[in-house]
Amino acid sequence: MDHPSSGNLAPIIPGHFHRLGLAARPADNYATWLCEVLGAVRIESGMRQVQGIPFGGGSDAAGVSHESGAHSEIVWLGMTPICIFSVVDDVGPLTAFVAKYGSGLHSVAWTVQDIWKTEVLLRRNEIRITGVDLPGRHFFMHPADTAGLLIEVTDTEFTDDPRDNPKMVLPVREDSVVKGAQLGWLTMAVKDPATSAQILSSVVEASEVNGLPRNAGEELIDLRINDVIVRLLKRDDGDTSRDTLHSWCISVPDLAGTCVSLAQSGIKVVSQSELLAVTHPEDTLGMRLQWVQASSLLI
């Protein structure tokens, strides 16, 4: 399968990972679960443009986006921001997404230096642009042009970001089920990992990573896109579903101890090895979660 782009422009250079997006209904209570189970924390932070210009558009006083009609809430899992988009009405693109696919993984986002220059370059490379939010200063690339991964691009950033400020100390939850959790990687289920890697690398600057833990027999390619790893995992041959963001992997300093804590809290561990484990999605608000021993990521 050829990439839909016929241009030959260089891929865009991403800045910080802006957020992992979860689509949800208000009753899902994702933010509370992420804090109480994974130890995620809330940081009160404003937003600014990458160039340092203050930013305050795109949402009303209640935090509801003018574009998507969804309420957004940010929590941090280690150094990774996670945004929960909760639908608040019966119309809008996010409402349609949740109605069709259910709550769960929705999208990813990276910052760029100049969003509108980036948009022009992507369009010249025949990457379709959707969900343009002028006051919110972001847009999405059509997932049909990005190997099934819904990518948002923005030139806004957090005023208070621990990745930019080594003196900033994140609060630590002492009562969470899991201790020391970080994002290990994001997993896409795809038909052909090599083709998907080629497509993604033509759109956004990426490099292949070798040596990360995997289960026996898996065909996959790991790509590092700045500060996040995206795992492209081949679907079963009989699986005719679309290429999509499928699951995410949580890195923990003590996998064996974490599995014990998860089981004691009522979260079933369905498989476990020395370096990897999987929990049952029915016990994790429908989210497919894999777990990895943190020391195995030091490659």
Cα-to-chain-centroid distance, residue 233: 16
Spatial CA neighbour of 11 closest among 130, 110, 80:
110
Per-residue pLDDT of 219-277, as tens digits, reads 999 999 999 999 999 999 888 889 999 999 999 999 999 999 999 999 999 999 999 99
Strands of the chain, DSSP E: 17-24, 47-49, 54-55, 70-77, 80-87, 104-111, 129-133, 138-141, 151-154, 156-158, 182-190, 207-209, 220-225, 228-234, 244-252, 269-272, 276-279, 289-293
Q: For the segment 19-73, what is each residue's pLDDT rounded down to a tens digit?
A: 999 999 888 999 999 999 999 999 888 888 877 666 565 555 555 555 556 788 9
* List of domains in the chain: 17-158 (3.10.180.10), 182-297 (3.10.180.10)
